[in-house]
Structures are given as structure tokens and as C-alpha cells.
Amino acid sequence: MEIADQTTEKKHRVVGPIRWFTDSGAIVIDWVTAIGDVSFFTMQTISWILTRLPQKETLLPNFYQVGVRSLPVVALTGTFIGMVLAVQSYAQFAHLGLQTRLGGVINVSLVTELGPVLAGTMLAGRVGSAMAAELGTMRVTEQIDALTSMGANPIHYLVVPRLLACLFLIPALTVVANFMGVIGGAFYSIFILDIDAFYYWHNSRSIVGLYDLFSGIFKSLFFGFSIAILGCYRGFHCDPGAEGVGRAATAAFVHAFVVIIVLDLFLGIFLIGLHKLVWPAGGQLF
């Protein structure tokens, strides 16, 4: 009996690491497969964009959904983020006697980082998840298969208009978020914190340059592309049933948000390096 117990214990000791290794390998294989599927899906979409653009009847409704319907939430978020930056930064700057420098810090933070990231996050939550849910429902109810049977390519008809809408309109939404954030921060700083308006705007102009604004808009193009591709991909590969549609919508937002944060890091490093390469002396590029 003791020999049998010892043998069973040895088997458990061996099976434990093997099971951990196989589970880890399965996770790696799933990730590699998913990245390959997304890459193939992206290449198909890009090939259709280069081959034949969609008609305006399919473009305009997506432009309205992505741009006009997202405008209020982006503007509201940008306004309060500017105010929050003013509230959180004022105590530290006042301690150093640099209250008038508050405008430069708020505005450069908005146009380079918070504006594009917040616009992308709002777009991922409102548009990306909606794309996944809508296309997932079409997949579950076999509407995508019906399009294929009628001779229409689902990627050209469903994905390309959504991708173009995100790609073209997220820079405009980023500009709106930046503008409302600057207005919100200025309103709170000047009228609530009683900072001199002349020095507030003067220091803002001396710190924030066009290159900073360009950096944020440049980042937003990659964010919009990622949101549309991931949202449509999750919808096209939705599991059956209502639960599958819900998981697809959730996964579309989570994956898009993670990709936005990662892209923001690497694009920020690239743009700072580009600025140093073009303008080694520092300061504003233009």
C-alpha cells in the first residue's frame, strides 16, 4: 500500500510540471494563431481599400455613427480632463511659485498624450464594441453568409467603410478633445484658481508647438486603425449565441484599449526620437 502511494505521489510530481508546460504552450499557440488571423484580416481589408473603395451609401452612415454620434462624449470628456489637470497640478505649481506655468503643462499634456488617448478610448468603448456586437449579430444570424452567397464580399461591404470612418474621423475627434480640454483647463485656472490670463496663455504658447499637436494627431491615426480592425475582427469571429456576441463586444474594447496604450508608448518614443533627430538643439520644431 505504501509503495502504491509513493508511486502515485511521484506521478503527481511529474504530471504537475508537464501540465503547466502544456497549458503554457497552448496559450502561446493561441496567441500566435490570433495574431496571424488578425494580420491576415488586416491585409485583406487593406487590399480591398487599395483595390476598390466603397460607395458613399455605405460610407456616410458609418461616418455619422463614428464622428457625429461620438462628438458629445469626446467633448465632455476632454473638458473635464482639462479641469482635472488644473486641479491636480495647481498645488504643486503653487508650492514652487509657478502658477502661471500651469497652462503650458496642461495644454502640452492634452495635445500630446491625453487628447488622443482619451479620444481613442472613447471611440473604442462606443464604436469598437458596437462594431463587434453588430457584426457578431450578423455572423450569428448568418447575414454575413447571406452577403457572400449574393456575391458581395463581406470585408469590402462591412469592414472597409468602418475602417475608413475611424481612420478619417478620429483625428477630428482628437482635435475636439484637445480644444475642449484647453478651454476647460483655462476656465478653471483663470476663473476658479485666479491665475493671470495673460501669463497663462503666454506660457502656453511658448511651451506648446505645432509639433506637439501633430504628434497627437499622428498617434490618433494608429488608434483609429486598431479600433476598427479589432472591433470588426471580433465581430467576424464571434461565437454563437447572445453570450458570444457579448464576449466579442467586451473583447473588442479590452483588446483595443491595450493596443492603444502599447502604441502610445512606442509612438511616443518614436516621435521624441524624431524630434531630436530633426531638431537636435531642442525647443519647438515649428
pLDDT in tens, 51-101: 887 888 888 989 998 888 999 999 999 999 999 988 888 877 777 777 778
Confidence of residue 285 (pLDDT cuts 50, 70, 90): very low
Shared domain check, 142 and 28: no
In a domain, 284, yes or no: no
Decide if 283 is inside a domain: no
**Would you say residue 9 has pLDDT above 80?**
no
Which of 235, 245, 227, 68 lies closest to 163 in space, CA to CA? Answer: 227
Residue 281 has a pLDDT of 55
Start-to-end CA distance of the chain, whole Å, equals: 83
47/67 same-domain check: no
* pLDDT for 43: 92
Q: Residue 172 — very low, low, confident or very high, per pLDDT cuts 50/70/90? A: very high
Task: Check whether residue 31 and residue 81 sit in a common domain.
Answer: no
Reported as a pLDDT band with limits 50, 70 and 90, residue 147 is confident
In a domain, 32, yes or no: yes
Domain termination site, one of 13, 33, 51: 51
pLDDT (tens digit per residue) in 195-227: 888 888 888 887 887 888 888 999 999 999 999
274 and 168 within one domain: yes
132 and 215: one domain? yes
Question: Does position 159 have pLDDT exceeding 70, yes or no?
Answer: yes
Residues 155 and 47 in one domain: no
Kindly state whether residues 134 and 210 are assigned to the same domain: yes
Please say which residue of 33, 51, 69 terminates a domain: 51
Query: Domain for residue 208, yes or no?
Result: yes
Nearest to 103 by CA among 79, 77, 82: 82
Q: Say how many domains are in the chain.
A: 2
Q: How many CA atoms lie within 13 A of 164 on its CB side?
A: 24
If pLDDT is split at 50, 70 and 90, which confidence band does 231 have? very high
Task: Decide: 241 and 140 in contact? Cβ < 8 Å.
Answer: yes
Over residues 231-249, the mean pLDDT reads 89
Do 236 and 175 reside in the same domain of the chain? yes
Does residue 285 belong to any structural domain of this protein?
no
Residue 166 lies in a domain: yes
| Claim to verify: residue 23 and residue 139 sit in the same structural domain | no
User: Is 286 within the bounds of a domain?
Assistant: no
Is residue 215 domain-shared with residue 251, that is, in the same domain? yes
Model pTM above 0.75: yes
Distance of CA 240 to the CA centre of its chain: 27
- Calpha distance 203→197 (Å, rounded): 10
Structural domain ending residue among the three candidates 36, 51, 66: 51
| Same domain as 128, residue 41 | no
**Quick check: is 36 in a domain?**
yes
Full residue range of the structural domain in which residue 23 is found: 1-51
Examine the domain organization and report whether 152 and 231 are in the same domain. Answer: yes
